[in-house]
Copies of this chain bind each other. A is one copy, B any other.
């Protein structure tokens, strides 16, 4: 799916909602257990109930891998079931040395027919570039994640190249510190560096909804890229704040909610309840789109 096709879909549906299919067989309604593949049946009913009001689905691979080869089959069938006009994200957080990342890219882009896969940047350029080689596909790189552990490394400050030359190489030893001595944080360096590997037409970044204050900085670095924003709902991120700080001229946001939508109900009407939960989020999205994009 191209960037402009994605934006058209957003305008048409007045929504930039992604529904996370983190489907856990232990948490789905009990009446589904009679089906040959209860997780697939759950996903199908969620998709049927919400496909006209969201623009993306994001199955999280971990929830399928726990079921072994059967789970992998469910994942594939889930992607096959999602309509063509909807942006299909494999939330896999893969990343390895070049020849291995190439295999992961093949697994998700060629065999699963996803539109996008999430990728961890820790191994650097050659771990991400094999994903970028697939025309019409998207690589979504982890920038600043929604969890508490994002403070452990992503939020650490790096010595900037200018300071490094001055201080470590010693050429400016003894100088006064300037007022503006703050280093760039790791996640900022990751986003800045990795945005140079691809383009806004094939790369997005993950920015957790729990860090709305960081979005202004991120938008300074990458004004044009789409951001995949998890963490609204169960993880406590504020949709209003994200919209306020993160939207750009093509919306530029795909907001994910998983548990808050798919487990909104626990009875036979779980899919309807999921739709209701999605519509609540959409109401705010529609307002935001009317205020910014539509004018």
Contacts and interface: CB of A to CB of B under 8 A. Distances in A.
Nearest to A151: B124
Contacts of A85: none
**Assembly of this chain: how many copies?**
2
Highest count of chain B CB atoms <10 Å: which of A60, A66, A121, A168: A66
Given A73-B69, A93-B95, A147-B98, A186 B153 contact: yes
A94 B91 CA distance: 11
B124 A150 contact: yes
Interface stretch (A46-54, A100-108, A239-247, A266-274): A100-108
A179 to B, nearest CB: 8
A65 B127 contact: no
Contact of A158 (B69, B125, B159): B159
A186 to B, nearest CB: 7
A263 B183 CA distance: 46
B76 A69 contact: yes
Interface stretch (A6-14, A170-178, A221-229, A275-283): A170-178
B189 A101 contact: no
Interface of A: 22, 24, 60, 62-63, 65-66, 68-70, 72-73, 76, 91, 93-101, 103-104, 106-107, 110-111, 120-128, 142, 145-154, 156-159, 164, 167-168, 170, 173-177, 181-183, 186, 189-190, 193, 235
A137 B181 CA distance: 44
A173 B175 CA distance: 10
A189 B122 contact: no
A111 B66 contact: yes
Given A72-B72, A121-B153, A62 B176 contact: no
Contact of A122 (B101, B153, B168): B153
Contacts of A70: 69
B103 A62 contact: yes
